[in-house]
Amino acid sequence: MGVTRTPTNITQGSQTKGGIGESTLRPDGTLKVTGEFAYSSDLWHEDMLWGFTLRSPHPHARIKSIDTSEALAQAGVYAVLTHDDLPTEHTKYGLEYTDTPVLADGVVRHHGEPVALVAADHPETARRAAAKIKVDYEPLPVVHDEASALADDAPILHPGRDDHHAGQVPHPNIVHRQPIIRGNAEEAAQRADVIVSGEYEVGMQDQAFLGPESGLAVPGEDGGVDLYVATQWLHSDLRQIAPVLGLPEEKVRMTLSGVGGAFGGREDLSMQIHACLLALRTGKPVKIVYNRFESFFGHVHRHPAKLWYEHGATKDGKITHMKCRIVLDGGAYASASPAVVGNASSLSVGPYVIDDVEIEAVALYTNNPPCGAMRGFGAVQACFAYESQMDKLAEKLGMDPVEFRQKNAMSQGTIMPTGQVVDSPAPVAELLRRVKAMPLPPEKQWEAAGDAADVRALPGGLSNTTHGEGVVRGIGYAVGIKNVGFSEGFDDYSTARVQLQVINGEPVATVHTAMAEVGQGGVTVHAQIARTELGVTQVVIHPADTQVGSAGSTSASRQTYMTGGAVKNTCEAVREKVLEIGRRKFGTYHPAWATAELLLESGKVVTDGGEPLADLVDVLEGETVDIELEWRHRPTEAFDLVTGQGFGHVQYSFAAHRAVVEVDTELGLVKVIELACAQDVGKALNPLSVKGQIQGGTTQGLGLAVMEEIIVSKDSKVRNPSFTDYLIPTILDTPTIPVDVLELADEHAPYGLRGIGEAPTLSSTPAVVSAIRAATGLALNRVPVRPEHITGT
Amino acid sequence: MRLTFNVNGRQQEADDVWEGESLLYVLRERLGLPGSKNACEQGECGSCTVRLDGVPVCSCLVAAGQAQDRDIVTVEGLADQAKKRAAAGCAGGACGTTLDEAKQWESKPADGQSGEASTSPLTLSPIQQAFIDAGAVQCGFCTPGLLVAADELLERNDSPSDADIREALSGNLCRCTGYEKILDAVRLAAARAGAETAGTGA
Ligand code: FES
Ligand code: FES
């Protein structure tokens, strides 16, 4: 190879149109607005059957017998499957622990657990046949909280655990426990002039993605199966599906269908194995689509949590110490609980400098619905508690809550409670400054407007419950910290394949990854990166499937960093190759081929001085460059299981919010008037998409603050599995969301970017609650805040 | 039963329809029009919104039989519908919001279209184009229902206030965007229609 290496910095391709930093439009946008984009629930196949899942009405019961004969005898029914019909001895799956039965094996552990499957020629036939399956249950005592999980006579939900944490947990009903000890909190507490403590509670939130769990399994002639499905991580699904089917992974060919949102709720399997089992049994394509009722049982939720916190501070406003204990309800199966515990504990201090801490986080096994990944997991629950504590401390010290936070804000160089030094920008105080500096919305607009006042802008809205009397404004602030990417020593990598060739006289790049596009805009960004790195205009995004290496999950705010990084890395290798070809073909025509730094810009090979040397089309004439490479972020370490010390996270992400609310104090109705956000994104690869992510995340945090909760009764049954009773913000509930984007590069990350998807979901919730407290003077230690919490009725 | 109705200007028939099937099911599974979405099938999300004799309805709540002999417009028919309106002298907004008022829209025109979209040289209706340009589409599952609802709003109100837009779209859930860019898209479509009308002196 020649002496010159192509520069890998940001200047490459910066002249090429449609590259990074521009708000280019979604490549799938046209199909999505015409209704042609094929979501997983839209798939159709000649001769296709419909699958349906029979689920347990009990949260905990022994199955004494199952009689499927009547169901099987129904006209139009092709198959009925129970646990006994599973083809191999691998009858369980799971993200971290293999503890979840594909179909209940003699016992059900939560309301809605899959018990049997039906395939029929019409969805209603399948549903009615399932109702004819006779299951004889013997209800068992229910574990529903920490006390009942750890009681002396508590039923052990997973006897004989063999997962990698089984040996260390203090009780078999504890999924995982992570303590973190740093400094000496007892001693530091002696220096405190004020001490505040609190007990906080976060309700069970649902991802409520709009596209229901769905997919189509088509049996193959080779005995394998083709599965078209909406998921967050194709290869993780594959690893869990293939053993249950008794097939080698090559015979389970997965293709990503259109995904209607995810937010963590598609990290675990739902209908994947079920559809494959039915397809292999019947020899026909099988489609399964959950309706909304079933969807509430078909995926994990955000862990509800109880959090105990104590902080101390000196008179001049420096925090002395923090102690906390966080109990997360993991429900019946482990799902992502161990990672949620890791996040909750390691981020429990928040974005503050506190040297002396004592932290403990645990997740429980209970008979409640399984909980796992949802946007910001672990960090969302902690943020509500520590930000509530910050307000309490500031109040007790008589300080301004923003100033108090700024005084204790972390920055680059701060040591985390895990001992990890934060080695990239952490502009916490600056984000608070920015969000506070934004202009406030006008007060009492209903008075100023007089007769023209619009009730739609008041609490209660069109219900016309007030014309301003009893309405009080409140303002609240919050800031949070989230990790980016997979942590705790996980080998986190992504794969990208990039092809460059001449098609119809133009250089065209094809980018092939297994990244799940769930709406976040990864496909847009991949095209931008390819344009920037290869100097081409035309980029084709290949559909995501398992014919290329793993891209990891579309979660943990990691895809732009990881698969974006992988695309960049492969493009760099492609560029090297192109220049090598160029030197071979044209090197003798111009000395710069050997001496200059060469770039690919706007379809040409140019010197770094801008002198064109050759057209890409001529260089690529008769050649195709095709490279697939894996790319990793720098390694992390597991947290020590006793002290919690370790370089556990690869990157941190920060956002701050200011909430302005108006509360009808008589009726307890809250109207959020504005929810402003300032966030550091490192580098905005696509500013329009970045804002969309921040606004969407902010709105989900608003939902948790005042609306969203899956109600689980004391006997562990789900009470509100519908959009009638589980409310997510509508356009009337959602305020304007001004966004201030800061771009301080992280030198460890591709282009300096920072994962952004989750941080805005953290601080939104406590900011809204803080504003409601300011308006009402109430303590409000639980989210979501309901009208009765405000009126005290 | 056999059903006959008009969908997007075309006479359609569906055979063997079971009486319990919704209009949404018949459109998606029997007529090959899966553009209308099925996010809840409980009448709560608006993703299945279509126009039935001009009126926006949740098609998951309409028994298929009720659609007999009636006119239905789905997201698949929006572009045609817009063309017809333009031919009839109504560009979906005779006057309206100025471009300045729509300034929250920030996307710059860039080629941006590649891959899948380049194979689909469709003419889009103004509201469809505005949704793309304003960044109102993320996962896109809410988009078809929102487009039908927003198109109907702009047909009867060419310069809606923000409160009008919020009211008209309050039955359509979106989980991804936080609605800001959806507001931008409707403002943008109204502003563009206004600018066009002003430009042609209409
Ligand atoms: S699918 Fe019809 S309203 Fe939700
Ligand atoms: S864009 Fe995903 S629900 Fe609206």
Q: Largest Cα–Cα distance of chain A, in whole Å?
A: 86
Give the amino acid at B29: E
Which atom of ligand 1 sits closest to the CA of residue B45?
Answer: 4
H helix runs in A158-291, sequence order: 185-189, 234-245, 272-282
Cα A122 to Cα A51: distance, rounded to the nearest angstrom: 9
> Stretch A448-474: mean pLDDT, rounded?
81
Whole-number pLDDT of residue B194: 86
Residue A462, pLDDT above cutoff 90? no
* CB proximity list for A686: less than 8 A, separation 6 or greater: A20, A21, A22, A23, A24, A521, A524, A525, A528
Cα A655 to Cα A675: distance, rounded to the nearest angstrom: 12
Residue B100, pLDDT above cutoff 50? no
Whole-number pLDDT of residue A629: 98
Cβ contact (<8 Å) for A208 and B175?
yes
Query: What are the residues facing A478 on neighbouring strands?
Result: A657
Cβ contact (<8 Å) for B75 and A33?
yes
Whole-number pLDDT of residue B92: 39
Tokens 């710059």 — which residue? B108
Give the residues surrounding ligand 1 with Cβ less than 6 Å away.
Answer: B 38-48, 58, 60
- φ, ψ of residue B71 in degrees (nearest 5): -100, 130
Residue A267, pLDDT above cutoff 50? yes
Q: Largest Cα–Cα distance of chain B, in whole Å?
A: 53
> Stretch A536-540: mean pLDDT, rounded?
95
A344, A379 contact by CB (below 8 A) = yes
Whole-number pLDDT of residue A770: 98
% of chain A beyond a pLDDT of 70: 98
* A258/B contact by beta carbon, under 8 A: yes
Whole-number pLDDT of residue B114: 35
Tokens 């503890």 — which residue? A99
Paired tokens of A457: 């802008």
Whole-number pLDDT of residue B200: 57
Q: Which of B28, B34, B108 sits opposite A23 (nearest CB)?
A: B108
Interval A557-598: pLDDT, tens: 999 999 999 999 999 999 999 999 999 999 999 999 999 999
* B141/A contact by beta carbon, under 8 A: yes
Residue B121, pLDDT above cutoff 50? no
> pLDDT category, B104, cuts 50, 70, 90?
very low
End-to-end CA distance of chain B: 48
Sign of the Cα pseudo-torsion (A140, A146, A150, A153, in order): negative
Q: Which of A259, A457, A737 sits opposite B180 (nearest CB)?
A: A737
Interval A221-260: pLDDT, tens: 999 999 999 999 999 999 999 999 999 999 999 999 999 9
Give the amino acid at A264: G
Strands A49-55 and A286-289: parallel
**B3-73 sits in which CATH class?**
alpha beta
Alpha-carbon separation of residue B177 from A458, A692, B107, B139, B166 (angstroms): 23, 6, 15, 9, 14
Cα A52 to Cα A116: distance, rounded to the nearest angstrom: 8
**Residue of chain B with shortest Cα separation from A211:** B39
Is this model's pTM higher than 0.90 or not? yes
A358, A323 contact by CB (below 8 A) = yes
Cα A702 to Cα A784: distance, rounded to the nearest angstrom: 9
> Stretch A67-93: mean pLDDT, rounded?
98
* CB proximity list for A481: less than 8 A, separation 6 or greater: A347, A350, A351, A379, A383, A410, A428, A652, A653, A654, A759, A762
Interval A599-647: pLDDT, tens: 999 999 999 999 999 999 999 999 999 999 999 999 999 999 999 999 9
Whole-number pLDDT of residue A563: 98
Cα A575 to Cα A619: distance, rounded to the nearest angstrom: 11
Q: Which of B42, B135, B171 sits opposite A688 (nearest CB)?
A: B135
What are the extents of the domains in chain B? 3-73, 76-199
Residue B105, pLDDT above cutoff 60? no
* CB proximity list for A711: less than 8 A, separation 6 or greater: A718, A719, A720, A725
**Among candidate residues A8, A4, A17, A119, the one with its CA nearest the CA of residue A603:** A17
> pLDDT category, A2, cuts 50, 70, 90?
very low
Interval B127-166: pLDDT, tens: 999 999 999 999 999 999 999 999 999 999 999 999 999 9
% of chain A beyond a pLDDT of 90: 94
Cβ contact (<8 Å) for A261 and B139?
yes
Least trusted range by pLDDT, from A4-8, A508-512, A522-526, B141-145? A4-8
More confident residue, B104 or A574: A574
Cα A115 to Cα A297: distance, rounded to the nearest angstrom: 13
Mean pLDDT over each residue of chain A, to the nearest integer: 96
DSSP 8-state class, residue A257: -
**Among candidate residues A578, A554, A565, A576, the one with its CA nearest the CA of residue A630:** A565
Paired tokens of A129: 């046949």
HSE value, Cβ hemisphere, 13 Å, CA-based, for B49: 26
Cβ contact (<8 Å) for A18 and B111?
yes
Q: Could you give all domains of chain A from N- to C-terminal order, each with its CATH number?
A: 29-37+493-632 (3.30.365.10), 40-140+212-259+266-298 (3.90.1170.50), 426-484+647-791 (3.30.365.10)
Cα A508 to Cα A215: distance, rounded to the nearest angstrom: 32
* B142/A contact by beta carbon, under 8 A: yes
Paired tokens of B74: 């789905």
**Among candidate residues A15, A1, A3, the one with its CA nearest the CA of residue A599:** A15
Interval A334-347: pLDDT, tens: 999 999 999 999 99
Cα B187 to Cα B162: distance, rounded to the nearest angstrom: 8
Cα A50 to Cα A399: distance, rounded to the nearest angstrom: 62
Question: How far is ligand 2, taken at its centre, from the CA of residue A522, in Å?
Answer: 15
Cα A706 to Cα A671: distance, rounded to the nearest angstrom: 10
Whole-number pLDDT of residue B119: 36
Alpha-carbon separation of residue A40 from A32, A255, A261, A271, A504 (angstroms): 13, 10, 11, 11, 33
> pLDDT category, A11, cuts 50, 70, 90?
low
Interval A645-660: pLDDT, tens: 999 999 999 999 999 9
A341, A178 contact by CB (below 8 A) = yes
DSSP 8-state class, residue B29: I
Q: Supply the Cα-derived Rg of chain B in whole angstroms.
A: 17
Cα A673 to Cα B4: distance, rounded to the nearest angstrom: 48
Question: In this predicted complex, what is the ipTM?
Answer: 0.96
> Stretch A744-772: mean pLDDT, rounded?
98
Length of chain B counted residue by residue: 202
Q: Is the CB of A210 under 6 A from ligand 2?
A: yes
> pLDDT category, B107, cuts 50, 70, 90?
very low
Interval B60-93: pLDDT, tens: 999 999 999 999 999 999 999 888 888 875 443 3
**Sheet containing A506-512, strands listed edge to edge, beginning at the edge strand earlier in sequence:** A538-541, A506-512, A493-503, A625-632
Which among B29, B42, B74, B173 is the best mutation to test ligand 1's pocket, defined by most ligand atoms within 8 Å of the CB? Answer: B42
Q: Which CATH number fits domain B76-199: 1.10.150.120, 3.10.580.10, 1.10.10.10, 3.20.20.70?
A: 1.10.150.120
Min Cα–Cα distance to chain A from B166, Å:
6
**Among candidate residues A157, A175, A93, the one with its CA nearest the CA of residue A367:** A157
Question: How far is ligand 1, taken at its centre, from the CA of residue A97, in Å?
Answer: 36
* B36/A contact by beta carbon, under 8 A: yes
